[in-house]
Amino acid sequence: MTSKEVLITFLKLNTFPIEELTAGNKKFLERYSIDREKTDGRKDPSANDILKSKELIVLNEEKKAYGETDYYNRYPYVRYAKDLIKYYYDKYNTEKRREGFNTFKEFIKWWNEQGNVCHYCEIDAATSGFAFRSRIFRPKKDAWKNGVLQIEKKNPNGIYKPDNCVLACPLCNNAKSDMITSEEFIDHFAEPTNEYWQYITKDKIEHMQEEIIYFSSLLHINQNDKAVSEKIKQLANDYKLPQSADSLFTAFDEYKIPYNFIKNTNDIWIRDFMPVKTKSKRYVSFRYEPWYLEKHQHLRTGYRKNKINDKFPLPIVYSKRNLDGGNVVFSPDKNKVIISRRVFEENYNNEKEIVHELERLLEAQVIIIPSLPKKEDMTGHADGMVRFVDEKHVIGNKTGDEFEDEIKTALKKYDIEVIDFPFHDPKDPDGISAIGCYLNLLETKDHIFLPVFGIDMDYKAIVKSKEIFNKIVIPININEIAKKGGGLNCISWEM
């Protein structure tokens, strides 16, 4: 097997769109793979050096060299492919596995031969992954939560070598452990486990949407959990969590909508720091350095800094632009995206340049709407001002002031009509509270989770939502969360 074949093998194992790669991309990935192989996978070669040596980094107008990040920005799949290469090398790179598999090539040849299914119950890697990620199974062990096939030793007393290793799903690997022999497991457990998987697929997976909704794990923290730091508990207490989010998860359970939690967040507003998903299903991670957190750095979560990226190996582009995810409002088919002018205040280049770059990154027409001064609206997020109903209609806060008109005028230029949506002014002198902002709702395939606040206007918002959206409307009281500045869209994120 040549290095090139190794590369193609693991890209194929992950149904990677190889046709998206340019000749230059392939040159880079091949060299990266070969260089890593030279050290038997132990050393991570410098992608920057490779790009330079292959003359894949070109000079821009100011004769400044584009770096690795810029290269990935132009070719988003390349980073993903590189990370895959790294993933397999890291799997191989334990002393015991290196000993048994001799070379990385042998290791990858072995992996390829396993056919990406569980050796015992024959469930495929994709189904297993989905079932775990969507919390049909909820193991406590972190390493089990992504549901990937695991390397299992048939004879637990033997070493890690190709003829003693198979790939096994977490269910089989766990059940067999070191108690049952491989042969006995096949005879007595493989078929029943396969039947069990069929039941899971038919009864649960097929009823689920593809999309999983994520929340910060702060929202379901247990105050008695000794593993949780006092600082985090205090933060949860400040937001009166998890009580204030409880009705939301009860509703999710009731309507069988898959959801999960993201750990290591410093705050609950995950919409803002998680990557944004574009129509080609790649992700863009922006800088999350809003002015309002300048003096509260401990509340700032970084997708990379907090190592959330380890748990979510997404096809991702990292952008140097400073932009909160809450200020990115896509239309249903993701051809249009509404962003408020706050983006110009947080980035210093010329406005045209910023729009041009965002259009390229987000693969959509960028539509800029006005934003209020920072004192009146702390975040300036578009998702607190408008939400799409279809490609030509958005709902907008019926504030009854000039600002409402400004938004309508701005959108009219793009042939987008604003439907008035109930709004209640919280009269918050600090411009923080999101109480009364009904349109910061959480939309899933068949449901609208509508924030309500225990005020008279709730009823109007419910009626209006039922009128506008052809979906089941579920009101959720999130007063405590809204007081801190956000609604249901702010605390959620779709993978």
Cβ atoms 77, 16 nearer than 8 A: yes
Nearest CB to Zn ion, comparing residues 201 and 306: 201
Question: Whole-angstrom Cα distance, residue 162 to residue 164?
Answer: 5
Residue type, 282: R
For 89, list phi and psi in degrees, rounded to 5.
-60, -40
Nearest CB to Zn ion, comparing residues 125 and 172: 172
For 136, list phi and psi in degrees, rounded to 5.
-65, -40
- How open is the CA angle 16-22-26, to the nearest 5 degrees? 70
Nearest CB to Zn ion, comparing residues 192 and 400: 192
Nearest CB to Zn ion, comparing residues 192 and 332: 192
Q: Is 435 in the site for Zn ion (CB under 5 A)?
A: no
The residue to which tokens 């209006």 are assigned? 464
Interface residues for Zn ion in 238-277 (CB under 5 A)?
Answer: none
Q: 396 pairs with which residues across the strands? A: 386, 420
Question: Whole-angstrom Cα distance, residue 175 to residue 185?
Answer: 9
Question: Whole-angstrom Cα distance, residue 118 to residue 185?
Answer: 13
- Number of residues forming the site for Zn ion (CB under 5 A): 5
Interface residues for Zn ion in 102-121 (CB under 5 A)?
Answer: 118, 120-121
Query: Shortest approach of Zn ion to residue 185 CB, angstroms?
Result: 9
Query: Shortest approach of Zn ion to residue 128 CB, angstroms?
Result: 8
What does the per-residue mask of binding to Zn ion show for 186-215, with x meaning CB under 5 A?
------------------------------
Nearest CB to Zn ion, comparing residues 170 and 325: 170
Query: Shortest approach of Zn ion to residue 167 CB, angstroms?
Result: 9
Nearest CB to Zn ion, comparing residues 195 and 359: 195
Nearest CB to Zn ion, comparing residues 120 and 423: 120
Cβ atoms 366, 359 nearer than 8 A: yes
Nearest CB to Zn ion, comparing residues 149 and 364: 149
Question: Whole-angstrom Cα distance, residue 301 to residue 267?
Answer: 7
What does the per-residue mask of binding to Zn ion show for 356-395, with x meaning CB under 5 A?
----------------------------------------
Query: Shortest approach of Zn ion to residue 180 CB, angstroms?
Result: 13
Question: Whole-angstrom Cα distance, residue 42 to residue 38?
Answer: 9
Question: Whole-angstrom Cα distance, residue 55 to residue 49?
Answer: 10
Query: Shortest approach of Zn ion to residue 94 CB, angstroms?
Result: 22
Query: Closest Cα to residue 146, out of 157, 138, 158, 154?
Result: 138
Nearest CB to Zn ion, comparing residues 128 and 492: 128
For residue 381, what are the contacts with CB-CB under 8 A and spacing of at least 6?
272, 324, 326, 327, 340, 342, 490
What does the per-residue mask of binding to Zn ion show for 61-100, with x meaning CB under 5 A?
----------------------------------------
Question: Whole-angstrom Cα distance, residue 387 to residue 419?
Answer: 10
Cβ atoms 337, 328 nearer than 8 A: yes
Query: Closest Cα to residue 215, out of 159, 185, 257?
Result: 257
Residue type, 155: N
Which pair of tokens denotes residue 339?
């962003």
Query: Shortest approach of Zn ion to residue 173 CB, angstroms?
Result: 7
Question: Whole-angstrom Cα distance, residue 206 to residue 395?
Answer: 32
Query: Shortest approach of Zn ion to residue 121 CB, angstroms?
Result: 3
Interface residues for Zn ion in 136-175 (CB under 5 A)?
Answer: 169, 172
For residue 21, what are the contacts with CB-CB under 8 A and spacing of at least 6?
29, 75, 77, 78, 81
What does the per-residue mask of binding to Zn ion show for 305-324, with x meaning CB under 5 A?
--------------------
Nearest CB to Zn ion, comparing residues 169 and 462: 169
Query: Shortest approach of Zn ion to residue 119 CB, angstroms?
Result: 7
Query: Shortest approach of Zn ion to residue 123 CB, angstroms?
Result: 5
> Which residues contribute to the site for Zn ion (CB under 5 A)?
118, 120-121, 169, 172
